[in-house]
Amino acid sequence: MFAHALALVTALLLVGHGPDRAWAGAPTDQLKAQIERTVKILEDPELKKPGKQRDRRAAVRQVANDIFDFSETAKRSLARHWAARSQAEREEFVQLFGDLLERSYISKIELYGGEKIKFVGETIEPDGAIVRTRLVTRQDTEIPIDYRMHARGDKWLVYDVLIEGVSLISNYRTQFNKIITTSSYQELVKKMKSKQEEFIQEEKRTSQR
Amino acid sequence: MDRTRLNIAVGIFVILGVVALGYLSVQLGQVSFLGSRGYAVTVDFPSVGGLKAGSAVEIAGVEIGRVESIGLADYQARVTLRVRSGIKLQEDAIASIKTKGLIGEKYIRISPGGSDKIIQPNGRIREVEAPVDFEELLSKYIFGKV
């Protein structure tokens, strides 16, 4: 009798305490939902019309904000240089980094043309999860894309993406480190700002045409 | 009298030769005599593609340890590294398998992270990058079309 009660209490404690365990399968489900949302936006005929490009991109960015933990990605990319930054600098950097990712990736996502995404597996560890997917192109080539996620409350957020095994954070970490050690952090921020300026100007020109 | 001195000289020479040979083999074979100096850290890679026990572990091109052993765990490659004591690896450090030059030997490059948490001895580096298999990539993009 006592043993039964004890088992019950332990079970309850485990369920109440371990969101990681209780949420088995959650990272994949949450990622899947957001990817489906993105595909829906991209296939929306209303948003495909010319002149709607900005709305479309904004909608995609919205989804990205919901599933990506940009501040974690920015922090990890800056690595040991993050600790030396003030609160204001960190906020500015996260913003600039978000813009950089939008420029590099969200604008590319408009090239989407019916590729399929297969979910092939997930690994959940005490402090994170990996969701493995394959992007199947129209030529039937499979490109492995792995998402590294961590739990924030009841939400799983992506902080790193590995395409063909190459990590996004690793890529930026190397580049940022090189710029900061050869010149300075201020130089890096200046560079990122001017790139963003250029991009906005370019956008204006194309939308006026 | 002369004979003995000659014998001693030859003896010393032979001993020196043996010591030199021993030193050379330890150096070339990368055997650490004092057993395990530094601490062990494990890393799981989907594939190690050509990495061997004894391969270098580097940060910024500086050797900070060596690969101690490579085994199989859950169909993944579990690599145990022996890292020099005094080198701290952050919890978000990334271990990547890289190639020296285009066709050189494989080594592990660690890019240090910025987390406050330090990986403890016998801990694990979670963030990894597998080596890029160029042949596979090539064949994928050349023969991709069915």
What ipTM is given for this predicted complex? 0.72
CB-CB under 8 Å, A79 with B113: yes
Nearest to A80 among B114, B137, B140 (CB): B114
Pick the more confident residue, A10 or A33: A33
Which residue among A162, A164, A173 places its CB closest to the CB of B137?
A164
pLDDT value at position A19?
41
pLDDT above 50 (res A13): no
pLDDT at residue A60, as a whole number? 86
Q: Do A167 and B94 touch (CB under 8 A)?
A: yes
User: Å from A139 to nearest chain B CA?
Assistant: 5
Size of interface A-B (CB pairs under 8 A): 62
Tell me if B82 sits within 8 A of B44, measured CB to CB: no
- The separation between the first and the last C-alpha atoms of chain A, rounded to the nearest angstrom, is 79
pLDDT for position B31: 60
Q: Are A166 and B132 in contact (CB under 8 A)?
A: yes
Asked if A126 is an interface residue toward chain B (Cβ–Cβ < 8 A), one would say: no
Q: Which of B67 and A140 is assigned the larger pLDDT?
A: B67
Q: What pTM was computed for the model?
A: 0.77
Kindly give, in sequence order, each residue whose CB lies less than 8 Å from that of residue A104, ignoring residues fewer than 6 positions away: none
A144 CB within 8 Å of a chain B CB: no
Q: Residue length, chain B? A: 146
B20 to chain A, closest Cα gap in Å: 42
- Residue A191: pLDDT over 70: yes
Structure tokens at A112: 């989407």
Contacts of A163 in chain B (CB under 8 A): none
The answer to whether the Cβ–Cβ distance between A173 and B111 falls below 8 Å is yes
| Residue B21: half-sphere exposure toward Cβ, Cα within 13 Å | 6
Cβ–Cβ of A160/B113 closer than 8 Å? no
Lowest-pLDDT choice from A92-101, A179-188, A194-203: A194-203
If you average pLDDT over residues A165-186, what whole number do you get? 92
Cα separation, A71 vs A52, in Å, equals: 29
Residue A182 touches chain B, beta carbons under 8 Å:
no
Indicate which of B42, B92, B108, B138 best probes the interface with A, i.e. most A CBs within 10 Å of its own CB. B92
Which residues, given as ranges, of chain B have pLDDT below 50? 146
Please check whether residue A173 touches B, CB under 8 A. Answer: yes
pLDDT at B116: 87
Residues in CB range of A73: below 8 A, 6 or more apart: A97, A101, A159, A160, A168, A169
Tell me, what's the pLDDT at B36? Answer: 61
Instruction: Provide the percentage of residues in chain A whose pLDDT is more than 90.
Output: 35
Tell me what the mean pLDDT of segment A149-155 comes to.
88
First to last CA, chain B: 88
Average pLDDT, chain A: 82
A62 or A108, higher pLDDT: A62
Structure-model confidence comparison of residues A177 and B136, the more confident one: A177
More confident residue, A11 or A150: A150
Nearest Cα residue in chain A from B144: A141
